[in-house]
Amino acid sequence: MRQTVPPTVLVVEDDADLRQIITDSLEARGFAVAQALTAADAHSRLEAFAYDGMVIDLGLPDADGLDVLDEALTRYPQMRCVVVTGWGGAPEAVRAIKRGAIDFMIKPFQLVQLAQVLEAGINERRLQAENAALHARLGDRLSVSGIIGRSAAMQQVFSALELVSPMKSTVLVQGESGTGKELIARTIHKNSPRRDQPFVAFNAAAVPEGLVEAELFGHARGAFTGAVNARVGRFELADKGTLFIDEVSSMSLALQAKLLRALQEREIERVGESKPFKFDIRLIAATNVDLRAMVKEGTFREDLFYRLNVVPIPLPPLRHRREDIALLVQHFVEKSCRNNGLPLRTVSQAALRVLMDYSWPGNIRQLENAIEYAVAVSGAEREILPSMLPEDIRNPEQVSAIGPVTIPEEGVDFQSVMSQIERDLILGGLRKTGGNKRQAARLLNLSRTTLIDKLHRISGSMSAA
Ligand SMILES: Nc1ncnc2c1ncn2[C@@H]1O[C@H](COP(=O)(O)OP(=O)(O)OP(=O)(O)O)[C@@H](O)[C@H]1O
Ligand SMILES: [Mg+2]
């Protein structure tokens, strides 16, 4: 092991020979080992010292080993416990895992394996503790309250936040829906010298195309039909503060040109007015689609892209940082119980496993909603069980556009069936979006160029046929 302080392990085993063999083997691997012969013995040792790990025999003379395990983990939730048991004890061993043991060994087992399991478990715990310490240190310099995550990917996000918050640079936050783009934008503002000035958010996709310009830049009275009163735009509202433009990708090319001009000139004119307004804003933009790909397709202006992409902050989807799921679950359970005035619920191992296995297409927002649902249906139960999770998370459907496949006796031509499916998907996508290639591509998770490529091939083969 690499640590300077040897990891400590308590071996609880009534069989003297086995106890000694385990002790010797662990000591040979660099552990500091303490021994207990009975549950009572283990109890007083646990009272006196926080061991890093424990090896526990479930069949103790004076008590159930599971009770000792419970005591140890209640006292020291971080302790890594491995259960040893004879063949007959397999069901108890499974129960032990559910109660928080990291592994079990059926006698006779390989001593090396026991040491390896403990080593890996304790190493992982130390790493987590170091990350937590890093997080805490970062917390001194940067207020990231409410942003949960210890994964390497999130550490990078925290470093980027620290770097960029004090500056005026434009930031482009990229991430799938629900990955926390707005949260990150607000955090940057909160940590910037502008924190006492306004933070103004504008979602370019939530406003009808024709009104985006007036919303952003404001308009004069009577500037267009329906413009009864003059209106102050978001740029003016955000003056001296931060303007957050969400879903910037949904702006039309014409609007992109206007936004670019405003950013270059650092001034705007209200629609229907020719009095320029000089603004001083820090801009943060967000997108859930790949702007670079849109630039390649010609649907997003390259010059605007470079103006926005000064400091890119990519937010990883939740499925790429599963190690954060347990932390987020804990955070949202606490939050939801607090908000609803309920006593704190725990999450069963089985429920946590379901949550960790799921793919989370809606990312953190979806996880937050799932937990809120589970807390609501938990009723008087203190523990969240798998049955309390939303149905689609418990039983994720394999998304399959095509129904069950039947293969006829005579077999099929694989290639031509595949082309047929491809053709149906492409044409189906276009039909569903009224022929809009960009939307169809998004629907099918293809780039627009790929879709057009395939479309050419399809129409080629149709006219050839
Ligand atoms: N790292 C995180 N820790 C804790 N909560 C988070 C984290 N990231 C996001 N959230 C929470 O998840 C929810 C969704 O976040 P947010 O609205 O910032 O996502 P978004 O990327 O802007 O989503 P959309 O693309 O749908 O607009 C919010 O309630 C937010 O507080
Ligand atoms: Mg958002």
Closest CA to 53 of 24, 82, 21: 82
**Residue 179 CB less than 6 A away from ligand 1:** yes
- CB-CB neighbours of 47 under 10 Å: 9
CA distance 262 to 264: 5
> Strand (E) positions, 251-354?
267-269, 276-278, 282-287, 311-314, 346-347
In which residue are the tokens 């892209």 written? 305
Asked if residue 177 has its Cβ within 6 Å of ligand 1, the reply is: yes
**Ligand 1 pocket test: which of 161, 171, 182 has the largest number of ligand atoms within 8 Å of its C-beta?**
182
Q: Which of 180, 181, 198, 178 is nearest to 189 (CA)?
A: 198
Q: Is 153 in the pocket of ligand 1 (CB under 6 A)?
A: no
Copy the structure tokens of residue 368.
Answer: 């937050």
The distance in angstroms from the start CA to the end CA of the chain is 68
Q: Which domains does the chain have, with CATH numbers?
A: 8-126 (3.40.50.2300), 142-314 (3.40.50.300), 319-392 (1.10.8.60), 417-464 (1.10.10.60)
Asked whether the whole model's pTM tops 0.85, one would answer: no
Q: How far away, in angstroms, is 287 Cα from ligand 2 center?
A: 9
How far away, in angstroms, is 363 Cα from ligand 1 center?
A: 8
Q: Which pLDDT value is given to residue 465? A: 43
Tell me if 176 CB under 6 Å of ligand 1: no
For a mutational test of ligand 1's pocket, the pick from 174, 336, 364, 368, i.e. the residue with the most ligand atoms closer than 8 A to its C-beta, is: 364
Distance of alpha carbon 94 from alpha carbon 101, whole angstroms? 9
**CB of 363 sitting under 6 A from ligand 1:** no
Cβ(147) to ligand 1 under 6 A?
yes
In this prediction, the residues of the chain whose per-residue pLDDT falls under 70 are: 1-4, 130-145, 397-404, 461-465
Ligand nearest to the CA of 202: 2
Task: Report CA dihedral (202, 205, 207, 213) to the nearest 10 degrees.
Answer: 70
Residues with Cβ–ion distance below 5 A, ligand 2: 182
Cβ-based neighbours of 11, under 8 Å, separated by 6 or more: 19, 22, 23, 26, 33, 34, 35, 36, 54, 55
Q: Is residue 183 lining ligand 1, measured as CB closer than 6 Å?
A: yes
CB of 168 closer than 6 angstroms to any ligand 1 atom: no
Asked if residues 391 and 355 have their Cβ atoms less than 8 Å apart, the reply is: no
The whole-number pLDDT of residue 294 equals 94
Query: Ligand 1 within 6 A of 233 CB?
Result: no
- Helix, strand or coil, per DSSP, at residue 292: helix
**What is the distance in A from the centroid of ligand 2 to the CA of 175?**
10
Atom 15 (ligand 1) nearest CA: 180
Q: Is 336 in the pocket of ligand 1 (CB under 6 A)?
A: no
Which residue's alpha carbon is nearest to atom 16 within ligand 1?
A: 180
Rg of the chain taking only CA atoms, in angstroms:
29
Residues constituting the chain:
465
Residues 162 and 158: their CA atoms lie apart, in Å, by 6
Ligand 1 atom nearest the C-alpha of 148 is: 3
Tell me which residue of 266, 298, 296, 293 sits closest to 279, measured CA to CA: 266
Residues β-bridged to residue 4: none
Give the per-residue pLDDT at 2. Answer: 41
Q: Is 151 in the pocket of ligand 1 (CB under 6 A)?
A: no
Q: What is the pLDDT of residue 141?
A: 55
